[in-house]
Amino acid sequence: MPILCGHSARAGELVLSIGGPVRAADSLRTTAKMLDNDQAEILVVIGPGTATNEALAFAAALRLARPAVGVILARDEVSVSLLTQALRSGVREVVPAGDHAALAAACNRSREVSRRLLATTAIEEVPASPDGKIVTVFAAKGGCGKTTLATNLGVVLATGTGCRVCVVDLDLSFGDVAISLQLDPARTVVDALPMAGHLDVTGTASLLTRYRPGLEMLLAPVTPGDAEKIPPALTGELLTVLRGMFDYVVVDTPAHFSEHVLTAMDASAHHVLLTTPDVPALKNLRVTLDMLDLLSYPRQIRSVVVNRSDSKVGLGLDDVERVVRCPIGAQVPSSRAVPISINKGVPITVDAPAHPVSQAISRFARNRLLGPQNGTAAVPLAGTRGRRRSA
C-alpha cells in the first residue's frame, strides 16, 4: 500500500491521485519505519508539506538501501534546478502538487519501474551469473535492414533461451526501433542525461520500454535536437550498466561511424556487419572492414550477414565473398513478408517463426551469438578505446 508522507491541505486530493488505499505518514521518520516493517512496499509519495532538502536526503538514502522503492515528489513549484537535484538524489519524478493526472501517471510509471527492478534483482541473485554480451549491428549504407535484423535478433535471443535481452537504438537522430515495433516510449536515451556520471541499475531501468517478457528496449530520442545533447561517454556508461542487467544487449546503429558507434564497438563481444548484394553496399562493407582492421578490432568477433541474399541482381555470393575478402556468416533471403511485418509493427520472428527469414536469423543467433552455455566458444571482447587510439 503506497505511503503518502507529509501533512498538507491537499493531502486528500493527493490520495485520490495516487489511487487505491494509501497509508499516511506525518514525517519522513515515520515513513522510514513503515518501510522497515513492509519490505514489499514499492512507492512513496512525498507531499509539499515536507521540506525539499529533507525529501531529497531521504530519497538519496533510500536509493541505496531499497532501490526498488520509487519516490515521487509533489511540489507547489517545479523548476529545472529542482528536477536536476531530485534526479541526482534518486527521486523518480517530480510533479506539481495540483496536477492530479500527472501524479497518477507518475505513480503508475514508478510502479512499473519497481516491478522491473525486482525482476532484475531476482535474476542477479542467481549465483555465477556472467556479464552480458554486447552485439553491435552495423552497416555503412542505409536501407540494408539493420533495424529489422537488430530487433529480430533481440526476439530470437530472448525466446526459449531463458536470457534477458535489451535492444538499444543508437541511431540517436533517426532511430526506427520504436516505430518498427509500434512502441510509444515514456522515456528514451536522452532522459539519462541528468544521471550522467552516476548511472546505476535503478536509473537505467527507468529508461527502458518493455516489448515482451525478457525483451526490453532502450529507445532513441523522439525530439529533434536531442541527439546532439548526448555525449559518447553517456553511451559507454549506459552500455556498461546494461551489460550487468542483461544477458545480451543488441545495439542498432546509424549508417556511419561516429563516437557513439565506436564506443559501442569497443564494448562489443560481437560485430554483426550487414550488407546487401549490390555494389554500393559491398563497397561500403569493404571500407568498414578495412576501418575495423585499422582500429585493431579482432577479426574473430565479426560476422558478415548478407540480407536479401537471393535477390536476382547479377551478383552471387561468390562475388560478394570475393569483394569483401572474408567468409559470409549468414544469408537472409528476400521476402515481401519482411516489410509487411514491419508495417504491422511485429517482428517476423514473432509473426512467423517458421518463415525462411526467421529461420535464417535464428540459425545465425544460435551458431554465432549464443555463448558458452550452448556449447559454442566464448567470444573475446573487442579492443579498448586506448588500444584503438594507439593503433
CA distance 176 to 169: 8
Instruction: Give the start-to-end residue ranges of the domains of the chain.
Output: 3-124, 133-390
What pLDDT, on the 0 to 100 scale, is given for residue 119?
66
- Provide the pLDDT confidence category of residue 386 given band limits of 50, 70 and 90: very low
User: Above pLDDT 70, what percent of the chain?
Assistant: 87
Q: What is the DSSP letter of 20?
A: S
- Which pLDDT score, from 0 to 100, does residue 37 have? 84
Amino acid letter for position 152: N
pTM for this model (two decimals): 0.67
Q: What is the pLDDT of residue 158?
A: 94
> What's the rounded mean pLDDT across residues 73-82?
89
330: Cα within 13 Å, side-chain hemisphere: 25
Same topology, domains 3-124 and 133-390? Answer is: yes
313: pLDDT confidence band, cut at 50, 70 and 90? low
How confident is the model at residue 15, as a pLDDT?
74
| pLDDT, tens digit, 9 for 90 and up, residues 234-276 | 999 999 999 999 999 999 999 999 999 999 999 999 999 999 9
pLDDT of residue 337: 93
Across the range 343-371, mean pLDDT stands at 92
pLDDT interval class at 125 (50, 70, 90): very low
User: Who wins on pLDDT, 310 or 341?
Assistant: 341
What's the pLDDT score for residue 121? 54
Neighbour-count burial for 347-377, b at 16+ CB within 10 Å, e otherwise: bbbbebbebebbebbbebbeebbbbeeeeee
CB 13: neighbour CB atoms within 10 A? 16
Report the chain's mean pLDDT, rounded to a whole number.
85
Which residue would you say has higher pLDDT here, 306 or 12? 306
Mean per-residue pLDDT, 155-176: 94
Q: What is the pLDDT of residue 17?
A: 72
Per-residue pLDDT at 378: 34
Counted residue by residue, the chain has a size of 391
**Cβ-proximal residues to 276 (8 Å cutoff; 6+ apart), any chain:** 141, 143, 144, 145, 306, 307, 308, 311
**Average confidence (pLDDT) over 82-95:** 88
For residues 367 and 379, which has the higher predicted lDDT (pLDDT)? 367
pLDDT at 168: 97
DSSP bridge partners of 332? 307
Q: Which residue has the higher pLDDT, 255 or 117?
A: 255
In this prediction, residue 129 has a pLDDT band, given cuts at 50, 70 and 90, of: very low
Residue 105 has pLDDT above 80, yes or no: yes
What is the CATH topology of the domain spanning 133-390?
A: Rossmann fold (3.40.50)
pLDDT score for 233:
92
Strand pairing category for 248-252 and 270-275: unpaired
17-31, 43-57, 168-182: lowest mean pLDDT where?
17-31
pLDDT score of 174 more than 60: yes
Domain 3-124, CATH among 2.60.120.20, 3.40.50.2300, 3.10.180.10, 3.30.56.10: 3.40.50.2300
Residue 20 has pLDDT above 90, yes or no: no
As a whole number, mean pLDDT of residues 221-236 equals 91
pLDDT band at 371 (very low <50, low <70, confident <90, very high): low
